[in-house]
Structure 1
Amino acid sequence: MACFACLFVLEWRWDGPQRERLVALRRTLEERELEVVRAEQEVRRLPALEAEVGELDAQLERLRARLPARRDAAALLRRLETAATRSGLTIRAFVPRPAVEHSWYAEWPIRLELSGTYQHLSLFFDRVRRFDRIINLEDIAVRALEMPRPNESIVAECTALTFVAHDAMGQRVMVGAPVEKQER
């Protein structure tokens, strides 16, 4: 009996810590296997996530076209002048005004004076409406010319209000000297 007690004590002293270590190692192994399963699930989702990122990048580019990150008066003048010419109007004045700053964008008003006919003016408004870039036409005032000519019976004044995004760091957009188009 004493022999069994000695064997029991020796086995308990010898095997006890080894068993505890074995249990801890099995627990660690189960945790690692669970991590591997989770990682494999994430790897399977990766192509779908990459496709979603691609779609979001494309959407961001479309939105940047509507709300550009810089003011380019010359490019905007060219676009408006092209729309006016195709509509049968003449831009008599193009006067950028100071921007009104907001937290993540700036409103950029531009005073326009156009001459042509009512029909040409409505065609111009329709063309501006179709621009990718957001441009609101406000404060529209139309008056008849005292001495109308063919294809020029009115003068319209309005404010073209467009918007410019601040960059990702929240920096304000810098503007050069305003471009002013004088009467022709």
Structure 2
Amino acid sequence: MKKLLLGVCLMLASFVLNAASITIGNPSVTTSGFFSPTVTQAYQSSTLRIDDVRSGYLLGGPISVAWELEATQDTRFSLGVFGSGTYGMNGSLLLGPWTVSILNGQGEVLTTGVLGSVFDDLVLQAGDTITAVVAGSIRLIGSRSFTTTLFLSNLESVELPLPAAIWLFGSVLLGGWAVRRRSQKRVRLICTA
């Protein structure tokens, strides 16, 4: 009985101590034309990731960068996606509107926005993935680098109700304990008589 109680206490403690966490995977870059980028991770912490996409081309064009996010437990969070780029002294690398799409594990679009958006109240279930995709175009001549920043905020565990199986298992344990105790009382009464 003591072992069972210890196991239950340890299980409850693990639920309490398990904090919400999300990992951001390495980016994948898709391009067209003569663009052959290299991606280097500039910085990563538990809630922030910054990547540099360096160009190896003379001609610009469309580009998309995608990151997969995974959670160890069901988590509600906010995701901010920012980007900037420069080429020499001539101004911005980014051309036209850049979009950000958040996709679920099946590739369906959950929400969209523009570069610089913060997406609130996203929910990521344990074992599932969400993909953040930044897409746009880069100027044609003299490009040097493009920096993207993803940050997570407002991380919180999504509380799930206990399944019925746990409640049934608990009632079976309590019933077994009651029957055992009752039989021990009978044995004591017989022995004392």
Bin for the TM-score computed over the shorter chain: under 0.3
Relative to the length of structure 2, the TM-score reads 0.27
* Greater Rg by CA: 1
TM-score w.r.t. structure 1 length?
Answer: 0.28
The answer to which structure has the higher helix fraction is 1
